[in-house]
Amino acid sequence: MKPDPAEQFEALRRRYAAQISDRVAAIIAAWQQLEQSDWEKSVGIETRQLAHKLAGSAAMFGFVDLGAVAREIDIGLKEWLELDQPLNAYKRRHLAQQIALLQRLATESKVTALLPPLTTTQEPVANPPEPATLLSTQEQVPANLPPSASSPTQEAPLHLPSPEPAESLRKTPVIPFAPREQNGRPRAIIVVEDDQAFATNLSEQLRLFNYDVHVIHDLEGLPTLVRAINPAAIIMDIVFPSGDLAGTEAIAAIQRERTEPVPVIYLSQRDDFAARLAAVRSGGHAYFAKPVDAGRLIEALDRLTGAEESTPLRVLIVDDEPEFGQRCAQSLEAAGIYARAITDPRETLEQLQSFQPDLLILDMYMPICSGIELASIIRQQDRYVGMPIVFLSAETNRSRQQSALSLGADDFLAKPIQLEDLVSAISARAVRARYIKRFLIRDSLTGLLNHQAVEEELSREFARAERLHQPLAIAIIDLDHFKRINDSYGHVVGDQVLRSFARLLQQRLRKSDLIGRHGGEEFLVALPNTSLIEARTLIDAIRNSFAALRHYGPTGPFVVTFSAGIAGYPQHRSQIGAMQAADAALYQAKRAGRNRVVVDTGGSEPATVHAATTHQDQSIPATPAPNWRALIISANGIQRRLLRQELAAHGLMYDLIPDVERALTYQAPITPNLIFVDMTQIEGTRIANLMLLREHFAAARIVTIAPAVAEQRAVASVTFGADDYLLIPLATGALPALLNRLSAHERSNP
C-alpha cells in the first residue's frame, strides 16, 4: 500500500525542522562574514541566496514566521545588491535586527518540532481540584517540593496588610470611572460530551476564559441547539455509545445544512489515524486527544472563533496639498485602511507617536522640508527604523529615485497615481511591517508586550493619567513556585502554563489595559482609570480563576497560583515609584505565603518592610552618598528579585533590563550611574559586553552579580574591568558596604 501523502508531508516537515538551525546558522555565519568583509558584494550574494532559499521553503513546511523574516532579509539584501550603493546605517540596523530575529525563531522552531504528540495514556480527571491548592493531590507533588507547597493556607488571602489602608485609599480623588467591560461579548460554545463529569469540568475551564458554554450530552438534540444559538464553535467528543465515530457523522450532517461551516474541535480518547481522518473529513478544524490541556484548547478556540481579530491597518499621509492627501485617505479608507492625512511635515513626529501608523506616505517635495529630509529625521529614531516609507512624486528620473531609495525610502509611487494602485502598493508593505513590528514589541512565547514595550507603554499611560487626573493601577504578577514546574515537568510544560496565563489575562482585561510579560514568570498589568480597590477586586478574581485552571504535566494534572502586588497613581507620582511600590507589595504577598494579592499601602516610601531591619543593623555612610540610579542587567528572575528588593529597601532608584544588548539601547526613565550586571552576561564569549557597557555608560560604576558559590569568578570579573562585585544571595549589609566602597571611590576620584 502506498503511504498517505499527509504522512509523507509530515515526515518531510520533521526532517526540514531538524535542519532549520543549521540553515539559520549558515545565514548568520554568512552575515557575520558580510559585516567583517565590509559588505563585500560576493558575500552579499551568497548571504542573500541562503536567505532566499529559506524564505522559499520555510512557510511551505509550516514555519511561516521564519519564512517571513527570511524574506525580509532576502528583500533587504536584494535592494542593496541592485542599487549598487552602500546601504545606509538604518537599513543595516534593520537587517541586523532581522538576523537576530531569525536566530530567535530558529531556536523556537526547534522546540516546536520536538514537541511530543498529545498523550493518550492519562485518564481525565473527573473533579476539579480545590481552588486554593498548588497541586491537586499529594502524590503529584514532585519530591523536591518543601512541605509548604503542598499545605497551602485555606483562609482568605490577605489583601490589605496594614490597618490603615482604607484611609490612604480614600485620598484617591473621587473620579467617575467607566464600567469595566470584558473583552468583547462572551462567545457561545457548544460542548457535546457523554461523559457528564468531564463535560462539567471542561465547561468550567472554558467559562474562566469568558466563553458562554452550553453542554449537551447526546447527539439527538444537537442540530436543534446549533440552529437555536448559532455557536461560535462546537467541541465534540467523537466516540459515543451509538457508534465509534458517531460524533463525526453528526457533525457532517450539521455542516451540510449550513452555508458557513461552524468550527469544530474534536476531543477523543482515540489518537489513531482513522479517527483523525474521520474528523478531518467531516469538517473538523482541530483534534485533541484526551486528556486535554485547557490552554491548548483555548488557543485553538480563540483562533477558530476569531477572538484575536485584527485591527485595520493605519497609514499616515504627509502631503502639502490638502486635497490630494484627503483623496488618498478616502480611497484607503474605502479599502478598509485607517488613513490620516496631514499637510505640515513638522507635525509628523507627533502624529507618529499618537496615531501609530503601520506605514508612512510622504510627498517628495514640500515647502518646509523635503520628503527625503523628513524620512531621515524619522529614521534617526530607533523605533521607526522598520517603518515603511513610501514616496509620492512626479519624479521620473531614475537616478534621483534611486538616491531617495538609498536614503531610506522603501518604495516610489509616481504622481499622478491611480488610486487603486495606491491601495495594492501599500497594503502588502503595511501588513508585512506590522507583522515584523509584532515580533519586535511582542514576547514571542505569550504574544504579550515584551519588557521594553510594556515599560514604554506604561510611561505613556502614566503621563495620560496625570494629564486627565485619572487613577492608574499597576499590578506586578508573579507565578508561584514556577521554577519547580520547569524543573519537575520540563520547559515545554512550563511554557504552556505561561501561555495559558497570558490568555487568561487577555480574556479578562479590557482592550485598553496594558498587559506585558516583564520577564520570566513575571507579568505587568496596567489598568487605566482604575482605582486600587477595583484593581484588587479584579486581579483577585483572576487569581481565583487561574488557581482553578488545571494544567497537564507528564505525571498528571497540576495547579498553579500567582501572587500580585498592586500600586498606582496618584498614590505614587512617578512611574518608578509606583513600580517599586508594586514590587514591594508583591514581595509582601510572597512572604505572607503566596497565592494572594497585596495592595501597596500608599505613601511615597517604597518597601518599608525590609528597610526597617537592614537600616538598623547597618551603619549608613555619614557623608551623603551619591544619588545612585541603578540599572540591573540580568535574565535571572530570582537574582533580580533579590537584588531589587534590597535596592528598594535602601531607597535606590533602579530599573531592570534582561540583557546587555538591550541595555545599550536603553533610554529613560533613569540615567543610570550604577550598573549591576549578571556575570554570565560578560563572561566567556560575551566578554566584549563589559567593554561595550564601559563605553556606553562612561559615567557609571559597573558591578557584577554572581552566585555566592562562584566568588572566584566574580573576583576575576574585577580583574578584567568591573569596578566591584556582589554575591547573591546578599549577605546582611553587603549592599550598604558595596555602596560605601563605591562612594569612597567616587570621592577620591572626583
Partner 1 sequence: MASLQKILFVEDDPDIQMVAQLALEAVGGYTVQMCSSGAEALAVAEQFAPDLILLDVMMPGMDGPTTLAELRKKPTLAHTPVVFMTARVQRHEIEQYLAIGAADVISKPFDPMSLSAQVAAIWKKAYEARSSGTV
Q: Which is nearer to partner 1, 60 or 89 (CB)?
A: 60
Identify the residue among 18, 25, 29, 60 touching partner 1 (CB under 8 A). Answer: 60
* The C-alpha cell that represents 290 in the structure block: 484526551
Chain-centroid distance, C-alpha 413: 35
∠ CA 617-620-624, rounded to 5°: 165
**Minimum CB distance to partner 1, residue 233 (Å):** 23
**Minimum CB distance to partner 1, residue 16 (Å):** 6
Region near partner 1 per CB under 8 A, out of 57-65, 93-101, 448-456, 614-622? 57-65
Residues between 22 and 51 with contacts to partner 1, criterion CB under 8 A? 49
Residues that bind partner 1 (rule: CB under 8 A) add up to a total of: 21
Q: What is the DSSP letter of 29?
A: H
Instruction: Tell me which amino acid residue 22 is.
Output: D
Residue 52 touching partner 1 (CB under 8 A)? yes
DSSP-assigned states of every residue in 410-469: -EEEESS--HHHHHHHHHHHHHHHHHHHHHHHB-TTT-SB-HHHHHHHHHHHHHHHHHHT
**Minimum CB distance to partner 1, residue 463 (Å):** 41
Q: Do residues 409 and 319 touch, judged by C-beta distance below 8 A?
A: no
Q: Do residues 630 and 676 touch, judged by C-beta distance below 8 A?
A: yes
Q: Do residues 159 and 599 touch, judged by C-beta distance below 8 A?
A: yes
Residue 418 touching partner 1 (CB under 8 A)? no
Q: Which is nearer to partner 1, 56 or 322 (CB)?
A: 56
Q: Is 619 exposed, middle or buried (0-12, 13-18, 19+ CB in 10 A)?
A: exposed
Region near partner 1 per CB under 8 A, out of 55-63, 309-317, 355-363, 597-605? 55-63
* The C-alpha cell that represents 34 in the structure block: 558580510
Residue 58 touching partner 1 (CB under 8 A)? yes
Region near partner 1 per CB under 8 A, out of 9-17, 145-153, 279-287, 689-697? 9-17
Residue 1 touching partner 1 (CB under 8 A)? no
Nearest residue to 524 (alpha-carbon basis) of 558, 565, 467: 565
Residue 57 touching partner 1 (CB under 8 A)? yes
Q: Do residues 248 and 266 touch, judged by C-beta distance below 8 A?
A: yes
**Minimum CB distance to partner 1, residue 256 (Å):** 22
**Minimum CB distance to partner 1, residue 61 (Å):** 8
**Minimum CB distance to partner 1, residue 51 (Å):** 11
Give the CA dihedral 73, 75, 78, 80, nearest 10 degrees.
-80
Residue 12 touching partner 1 (CB under 8 A)? yes
Q: Which is nearer to partner 1, 20 or 509 (CB)?
A: 20
Region near partner 1 per CB under 8 A, out of 1-9, 155-163, 391-399, 635-643? 1-9
Q: Which is nearer to partner 1, 57 or 88 (CB)?
A: 57
Q: Which helix (H) or strand (E) holds 594?
A: none
Q: Which is nearer to partner 1, 167 or 421 (CB)?
A: 421
CA atoms within 13 A on the CB side of 513: 26
483/487 Cα distance (integer angstroms):
6
Q: Which is nearer to partner 1, 2 or 185 (CB)?
A: 2
**Minimum CB distance to partner 1, residue 333 (Å):** 22
Q: Which is nearer to partner 1, 320 or 411 (CB)?
A: 411
Q: Which is nearer to partner 1, 14 or 491 (CB)?
A: 14
Residue 451 touching partner 1 (CB under 8 A)? no
**Minimum CB distance to partner 1, residue 260 (Å):** 21
Percentages of the chain per state (helix, strand, coil), in multiples of 5: 50, 15, 35
Contacts with partner 1, 365-404, as mask; x by CB under 8 A: ----------------------------------------
Name 237's Cβ contacts closer than 8 Å, sequence gap at least 6: 192, 193, 194, 195, 247, 266, 267, 268
Identify the residue among 26, 33, 35, 53 touching partner 1 (CB under 8 A). Answer: 53
Residue 21 touching partner 1 (CB under 8 A)? no
For residue 291, cis peptide bond before it (omega within 30 degrees of 0):
yes
**Minimum CB distance to partner 1, residue 78 (Å):** 9
Q: Which is nearer to partner 1, 361 or 702 (CB)?
A: 361
What sign has the CA pseudo-torsion 647, 652, 656, 662?
A: negative
Q: Do residues 473 and 532 touch, judged by C-beta distance below 8 A?
A: yes
132/562 Cα distance (integer angstroms):
11
Region near partner 1 per CB under 8 A, out of 56-64, 127-135, 296-304, 456-464? 56-64
Identify the residue among 330, 424, 619, 667 touching partner 1 (CB under 8 A). Answer: 424
**Minimum CB distance to partner 1, residue 24 (Å):** 14
Identify the residue among 28, 33, 35, 59 touching partner 1 (CB under 8 A). Answer: 59
Residues between 66 and 125 with contacts to partner 1, criterion CB under 8 A? 67, 71, 74
Q: Which is nearer to partner 1, 4 or 181 (CB)?
A: 4
479/486 Cα distance (integer angstroms):
12
Chain-centroid distance, C-alpha 269: 34
Q: Which residue has the cell 514576547?
A: 443
* Residues linked to residue 309 through DSSP beta bridges, in sequence order: none
Residue 406 touching partner 1 (CB under 8 A)? no
Residue environment code for 410-428, b if the CB has 16+ CB neighbours within 10 A, otherwise e? bbbbebebeeeebbebbbe
Residue 5 touching partner 1 (CB under 8 A)? yes
Identify the residue among 30, 47, 61, 562 touching partner 1 (CB under 8 A). Answer: 61
Region near partner 1 per CB under 8 A, out of 3-11, 375-383, 470-478, 630-638? 3-11
**Minimum CB distance to partner 1, residue 43 (Å):** 15
Q: Which is nearer to partner 1, 52 or 442 (CB)?
A: 52
Q: Which is nearer to partner 1, 394 or 428 (CB)?
A: 428
Instruction: Give the long-range contacts of residues 337-343, CB within 8 A, separation 24 or more.
Output: 337/312, 337/313, 337/423, 337/426, 337/427, 337/430, 338/312, 338/313, 338/314, 339/314, 339/315, 340/314, 340/315, 340/316, 341/316, 341/317, 342/316, 342/317, 342/318, 343/318, 343/319
**Minimum CB distance to partner 1, residue 388 (Å):** 14
Region near partner 1 per CB under 8 A, out of 8-16, 25-33, 361-369, 559-567? 8-16
* The C-alpha cell that represents 159 in the structure block: 489583601
**Minimum CB distance to partner 1, residue 435 (Å):** 15
**Minimum CB distance to partner 1, residue 27 (Å):** 14
Q: Which is nearer to partner 1, 5 or 750 (CB)?
A: 5
Residues between 264 and 323 with contacts to partner 1, criterion CB under 8 A? none
Q: Which residue has the cell 491597518?
A: 313
Q: Which residue has the cell 478556540?
A: 301
Residue 16 touching partner 1 (CB under 8 A)? yes
Query: What 3-state DSSP class applies to 152?
Result: coil
Q: Which is nearer to partner 1, 56 or 184 (CB)?
A: 56
SS (H, E, C) 692-745: HHHHHCCCCEEEEEEEHHHHHHHHHHHHCCCCEEEEECCCCCHHHHHHHHHHHH
Q: Do residues 176 and 468 touch, judged by C-beta distance below 8 A?
A: no
Alpha helices in 476-602 (DSSP H): 482-489, 491-508, 532-548, 575-591
Residue 2 touching partner 1 (CB under 8 A)? yes
**Minimum CB distance to partner 1, residue 52 (Å):** 6
Q: Which residue has the cell 523628513?
A: 374
Q: Which is nearer to partner 1, 48 or 187 (CB)?
A: 48
Q: Which residues bind partner 1 (CB under 8 A)?
A: 2, 5, 8-9, 12, 16, 49, 52-53, 55-61, 67, 71, 74, 424, 428
